[in-house]
Amino acid sequence: MDAALNYREPDIVSILILSSFLLVLNVGDHIVNSYLSCGLVAQILIGIAWGTSGAKLLNQDAENFITLLGYLGLIFLVFEGGLSTNVQALRKNLILSCVVAFTGISIPIALSFILIRLADATPLQSFAAGAALCSTSLGTTFTVLKTSGFAQTRLGSVLMSAAMLDDVVGLVMIQVISNLNGAFEPASIMRPVGVSIAFALISACFCSSMKYCAESMTRAPIAGRIIGCRHSAFVAQTLFLIGMVTAASYAGTSNLFATYLAGICVSWWYENDDVQKSTRDTRTGRVQNSAEDAAIPDSSAPIAAIQPTEKSIESCPDERDGAILMYKRYYLPIAEGIMKPFFFASIGFAIPIKQMFESGIIWRGFVYASLMIIAKMLTGLWLIQFDLSMLFRLKRTIYYIRRYSRHLLNKNERTVQPSIELSCSATRSEPAMEKSTDQMLSENAKTAKEIQPRTKKPCEDSPKQATSLYPVVILGTAMVARGEIGFLIATTARSNGIFAQASSQSLYLIIIWAVVLCTVVGPVFTGLLVKRVKSLQQVERSAAVNEREDPLGPWGLL
């Protein structure tokens, strides 16, 4: 065995193949994004063309290396999604995200048992197919949100959380599939769930301790200056990301889930006002002092000497954008140009395109894929807001009717005088009765005036209901893509012998058809809807009189 690698100059054919592959990936992404806002579909198709199932331009070693770099790009993509997450919106919509994720998991598994009649599958094989099709592609989801610009909305928060929960469940499904033909071990199934919950709780505690970290940094200006330095912050956050991913992998949970939590923690660090204040003061204190000194008129100092100091104060982008700016400065160039295209191309490497085009498999694959698309589309129904204003209005009206009745009853009891007082004098009792009657009428009229606007208040103050179905359809189509998790579960089931029989090979190809069609069709329709919504938003903003509401309604807000 050689002690070191024998360095050899690569041949020109390999250089041309690799350079053309990387160039076509980026050009195809740009062209398709310009028209459909789903360039990842082009990258998947290019991966099919260059890979083993296509023209075989790339050998097996090159595909393995590209897959490795592509998965690193997926980690960067999920980390960016965590950085873009609004923590407050995530907490407000957590229950809704769990309901959406549960719907997207249970319905595909239930509908997959139709394979018993469609492809003569066993219940075990049908469950394995449903496990592969209940997942949601994280890379596709975060790419769609980034391209559309909806990551900072309620819709984006619900979509990211639901997709992440599907990823955790997908990891559990892999453990379930691995033990279906072997000895059943409950620990191997419960471990990913327990570790995922533990990581979420640890991340929440870490975010809660930000205030105390800020106070300690305020007491130690040197530590604050080190953390406030741009390069030191990049190193610290990268080490934190590596630590979270490594710990999650060894603990037995999804490293993508840990990546997302790491992004949320870093985002929370920059959102915390105390941390921002401490790092800003320690970082810019020396610059501000020099600026104040430079502001004093001095004949010996020219004006040009003062301008760089002012520019350095104004151009401190770290304080404005924080985590996102750090990602764009250090991660974005290599992630966008190399690693993310390699990830979607690696999905294309896993598609056995030559074996899928058989007459008995194509139509079954389309039927099963249609059912799986409908199953994920149903998740968007949870965003439909039913108009409950009539119920609130009726309840408030009944309340004020009862209050008004009590008011009249109390007034009548006060106006009833004892019979002894009525017989005192006729001259004094008559004006008193008139006065009490007039006073009662005036008070009743005043009460009626107070009641009338209050009965309208529930209708006016009730939240504005969404009159558009764009958020519903966008959420459903964005959840359709299965991607890498679907291929991984299907391949795991095949390697464990669930689809090992010759008669089960067609069933495996039907599942691959469904995963491929969902991964391609979902982003295409989502891109078309996003393009339509953006055009409607531009029309709304450019109108002189803003009479039209946002197409996303309340889901387009934080």
Q: pLDDT tens digits for 91-134? A: 888 888 889 999 999 999 999 999 998 888 888 889 889 988 98
CB 158 within 8 A of CB 504: no
55's CB contacts (< 8 A; 6+ apart) are 49
Question: Mapping DSSP to helix (H, G, I), strand (E, B) and coil, where does residue 361 land?
Answer: helix
Q: Where is pLDDT greater, at 341 or 274?
A: 341
Based on the fold, state whether residues 399 and 505 are members of the same structural domain: no
Per-residue pLDDT reduced to its tens digit, 153-199 = 888 888 888 888 887 787 777 767 766 655 556 776 777 778 888 88
What pLDDT shows up at residue 371?
94
Based on the fold, state whether residues 402 and 281 are members of the same structural domain: no
Based on the fold, state whether residues 403 and 498 are members of the same structural domain: no
Per-residue pLDDT reduced to its tens digit, 62-82 = 999 999 999 999 899 888 888
Q: Is the pLDDT of residue 137 over 50?
A: yes
Average pLDDT over residues 526-548: 74
Distance, in Å, from the CA atom of 248 to the CA atom of 203, rounded to the nearest integer, reads 12
Which of 178, 97, 131, 146 lies closest to 479 in space, CA to CA? 97
Distance, in Å, from the CA atom of 173 to the CA atom of 9, rounded to the nearest integer, reads 45
Q: Widest CA span of the chain, in angstroms?
A: 128
What pLDDT shows up at residue 318?
41
Q: Where is pLDDT greater, at 320 or 378?
A: 378
Based on the fold, state whether residues 200 and 275 are members of the same structural domain: yes
At residue 213 the predicted structure's pLDDT band, cuts being 50, 70 and 90, is: low
Based on the fold, state whether residues 256 and 396 are members of the same structural domain: no
At residue 2 the predicted structure's pLDDT band, cuts being 50, 70 and 90, is: low
Which tokens in the block code for residue 189?
Answer: 């199934």
Which range of 19-33, 129-143, 271-285 scores highest in mean pLDDT? It is 19-33
Which of 526, 554, 538, 528 lies closest to 142 in space, CA to CA? 526
At residue 465 the predicted structure's pLDDT band, cuts being 50, 70 and 90, is: very low
The full length of the chain comes to 558
Which of 329, 146, 340 lies closest to 235 in space, CA to CA? 329
CB 329 within 8 A of CB 238: no
Which of 508, 494, 518, 499 lies closest to 133 in space, CA to CA? 518
What pLDDT shows up at residue 109?
92
Based on the fold, state whether residues 404 and 534 are members of the same structural domain: no
Q: Where is pLDDT greater, at 164 or 225?
A: 164
Distance, in Å, from the CA atom of 260 to the CA atom of 78, rounded to the nearest integer, reads 6
Within a 13 Å sphere around the CA of 426, how many CA atoms are in the beta-carbon half? 0
Average pLDDT over residues 43-66: 91
Question: Residue 41: inside a domain, yes or no?
Answer: yes
Based on the fold, state whether residues 404 and 480 are members of the same structural domain: no
**Count of the separate structural domains present in the chain:** 2
What pLDDT shows up at residue 28?
92
Question: Residue 347: inside a domain, yes or no?
Answer: yes
Helix extents (H) in 54-209: 60-83, 87-92, 94-111, 115-118, 123-133, 138-148, 154-178, 186-208
Average pLDDT over residues 200-223: 71
Question: Residue 558: inside a domain, yes or no?
Answer: no
Rg (CA), the chain: 32
Which tokens in the block code for residue 87?
Answer: 């923590």
Distance, in Å, from the CA atom of 514 to the CA atom of 121, rounded to the nearest integer, reads 15
Question: Residue 49: inside a domain, yes or no?
Answer: yes
Q: Is the pLDDT of residue 39 over 70?
A: yes
Question: Residue 108: inside a domain, yes or no?
Answer: yes
CATH number at residue 227: 1.20.1530.20
- What is the residue range of 537's domain? 12-295+307-384+469-541
- Residue 329, classified by CB atoms within 10 Å of its CB into exposed (0-12), middle (13-18) or buried (19+), is middle
Distance, in Å, from the CA atom of 131 to the CA atom of 191, rounded to the nearest integer, reads 18
Based on the fold, state whether residues 507 and 450 are members of the same structural domain: no
Distance, in Å, from the CA atom of 428 to the CA atom of 265, rounded to the nearest integer, reads 80
Secondary element (H or E) of residue 235: helix 230-251
Based on the fold, state whether residues 377 and 492 are members of the same structural domain: yes
